[in-house]
Amino acid sequence: MSRSLLVLATTLLLAACGGSDNDDSDDAAATVDKLVGQYAGVYQDNGAPRLATATVIGADDLTLVVLDEQDRRSEYSGRYAAKTGTFEFAGGGNCQAADEALQCTLDGQSVTLAASTAESLDYSVADLAGRYQVRLDGELYTLTAASDGDFTVSANGCDTAGNLSLALDGTLVAVRLTSAECGGKLVNGYLSTDSLYTSRDVLVTYLPGSELSGYWIR
């Protein structure tokens, strides 16, 4: 084979491979977009009740939260495996779409998570602006949120930055960690609010694998 033909064949092969990867990524995103939402179900693990909630915001934003009878929670980040059509949550199990629900294998059991319905939030990201704190391992962490959704967490001389945004048609606030000065894990998740002293003065963050997951008080 001549050198020019060899170069042409190699170029075509690389182009074909690149196109396939892009197509797989696009197909995965399109599939996940049809399944965005929250899904929940109850099951038992060795006789103890568990509440599992899977939150699908995007192809790179999947979270599984499992609560036990004492409200202790386990959190897992997920990924969508396009080849098998499976949501895979590292260490937490896996799920597949089935008739407007997710059919999952959790703790070795088959569990159906039904689609949840939720009303639009009665507050905006701007309403969450302020300073929140939590004490972790004796250190005080401070989260400062701006009205545009950007926030910074300061602790131990390090800053972690992120962003809050409305998701799932305004029924949920998504959380994305975007940078960490001291090498903290950058993950995606979401939050809910609670009230302790005043309305919505507590942020409950769900950030699998991050020490920033928990309860923040304003």
Q: What is the DSSP letter of 186?
A: -
- Give the residue carrying structure tokens 């033909």: 5
Closest CA to 189 of 212, 205, 171: 205
Domains detected in the chain: 34-115 (2.40.128.50), 125-217 (2.40.128)
- What whole-number distance in Å separates Cα of residue 163 and Cα of residue 146? 9
Q: What is the pLDDT of residue 14?
A: 39
Q: What is the pLDDT of residue 26?
A: 64
Query: pLDDT by residue (tens digit) across 142-198?
Result: 999 999 999 999 998 999 999 999 999 999 999 999 999 988 899 999 999 999 999
181, 159 contact by CB (below 8 A): yes
Residues of the chain short of pLDDT 70, as ranges, are 1-28
27, 34 contact by CB (below 8 A): no
Q: What is the pLDDT of residue 25?
A: 62
Q: What is the pLDDT of residue 32?
A: 87
141, 210 contact by CB (below 8 A): no
Q: What is the pLDDT of residue 23?
A: 52
Q: How far is CA 113 from CA 67, 75, 138, in A?
A: 14, 16, 38
- What whole-number distance in Å separates Cα of residue 44 and Cα of residue 62? 23
162, 151 contact by CB (below 8 A): yes
Q: What is the pLDDT of residue 12?
A: 31
